[in-house]
Chains A and B, each alone.
Chain A
Amino acid sequence: MKSAKPFCDKIRRTLNSYYDDDLSLFMRRVVQKHLSSCEGCRREYALLQMTVETIRRRGAPDVPPRLLKKIIRQFTDPGPGGDPFPRELRGGGWLDGLQRT
């Protein structure tokens, strides 16, 4: 009996693009048809879907307010000697010259 494995391998290599809806209509139908009849590939696709959903649902903490205050202070507080131009933002070129005059 001919093994379905090589075809399954081909299909599995396209599952990522299938998930992103990034296949031609023809290939999309080929994958759809295969998934409807192959339990192994259907399982692989379900795992891919769950993986991406897990990534999408991953939470992150909110920014600590003290960090925002620190950053604002860093860029707006007068520099040494009451210099109104924050040291961090001094670039090269004519701005430096302007700063010194």
Chain B
Amino acid sequence: MEILRIGIPGVHPSTRTIESTVKTYGNKAYQLAYHMTGSSADAEDVVQEAFLRLFRNWSSVGGSRHLPAWISRVVTNAALDLLRSRQSRKRREAPMEAGALEAVASARRSDRPDSRLDRAELQERLSLALAELSPQQAAALVLFDHEGLRAREIASILNVAEATVRGYVHEARLRVKECLEPYLAGRLT
């Protein structure tokens, strides 16, 4: 029975390994999940699911030096699953209104003709813009621009071609830029 309690090396992580992995990577996992989902509650669900997938596939991790990459992979995939299910639910419950975001932006523009926006509002706009992206675009953008991963690494995580990742990032940046432009333009010198 002892072998089960401490874990089977290479197959099942020991209690000590579980504790140190969760403590070491919990914050990184949570913040990545938060950036992708835009919600604390969703980030909590994603992180729990991600650690479940990580520990279930422990034999595939292949050593602690691969852990950071594995954390990014399992968190991203758990977040993608959540975002996809959320999108399909949204589509079923209320078809997405085309241009809804632009309508909000226009309303704000007229409220604030000087186009100046404080940091909190800009973050709010960014969250809205990210929420309008496809799950794949949002994941690629967060991993590329926020986490600093290379296109090749993201391609491996998302299981798509490197050129597809670049396409996602390009399109996502353009869409976010369009949403933020009314506010950022006022800051141009």
What is the 8 Å Cβ interface bit string for chain A, positions 72-98, against chain B (1 contact, 0 not)? 101110000000110011010001001
CA distance A50 to B166 in the complex (A): 19
Verify B56–A89 contact, CB threshold 8 A: yes
Residues in chain B near residue A55, CB distance under 8 A: 126, 141-142, 145-146, 173, 176
With an 8 A cutoff between CB atoms, is A1 at the interface?
no
How many A-B pairs fall under 8 Å by CB? 107
Interface presence of A68 (CB below 8 A):
yes
A89/B22 contact (C-beta < 8 A), A54-B126, A59-B123 known: no
The answer, yes or no, to whether B115 is at the interface (CB within 8 Å) is no
Closest to B52 in A: A88
Contacting pair A46 B188 (CB below 8 A): yes
Contact of A71 among B15, B51, B142 (CB under 8 A): B51
Is B12 touching A68 in the complex (CB atoms < 8 A)?
A: no
Q: Which of B23-31, B91-99, B102-110 contacts A (4 or more CB under 8 A)?
A: B23-31
In the assembled complex, the Cα of A89 lies from the Cα of B1 at a distance in Å of: 16
Q: State the CA gap A48–B181 with chains docked (Å).
A: 9
Count chain B residues whose beta carbon lies closer than 8 angstroms to a beta carbon of A. 46
Q: Given A59-B123, A63-B26, answer yes or no on A54-B180 (Cβ-Cβ < 8 Å).
A: yes
**In-complex Cβ contact of B47 among A46, A47, A67, A85 (8 A):** A67
A58 pairs with B123, CB closer than 8 A: yes
Interface size on A, residues (CB 8 A): 35
Most buried by B among A51, A68, A91, A99: A51
- Min CB distance A96 to B, Å, is 12
B161 at the A interface (CB under 8 A): no
Contacts of A32 in B (CB 8 A): none
Is A52 positioned at the interface, with any CB of B under 8 Å from its CB?
yes
Interface string of B1-33 (1 = CB under 8 A from A): 100110010011001001100110011011100
B176 nearest CB across to chain A (Å): 6
- Give B residues with C-beta under 8 Å from A: 1, 4-5, 8, 11-12, 15, 18-19, 22-23, 26-27, 29-31, 34-35, 40, 44, 47-48, 51-52, 55-56, 122-123, 126, 141-142, 145-146, 166, 169-170, 173-174, 176-177, 180-181, 184-185, 187-188
Q: Which residues of A contact B (CB under 8 A)?
A: 16, 22, 43, 46-48, 50-52, 54-56, 58-64, 67-68, 70-72, 74-76, 84-85, 88-89, 91, 95, 98-99
Extra contacts, 9 of them, besides A51-B176, A72-B23 (Cβ < 8 A), are A48-B173, A50-B188, A52-B173, A61-B31, A63-B26, A71-B26, A84-B1, A84-B4, A89-B56
What are the 6 tightest A-B residue pairs by CB atom distance, in nearest-first order?
Answer: A63-B30, A60-B31, A60-B34, A51-B177, A84-B5, A68-B26
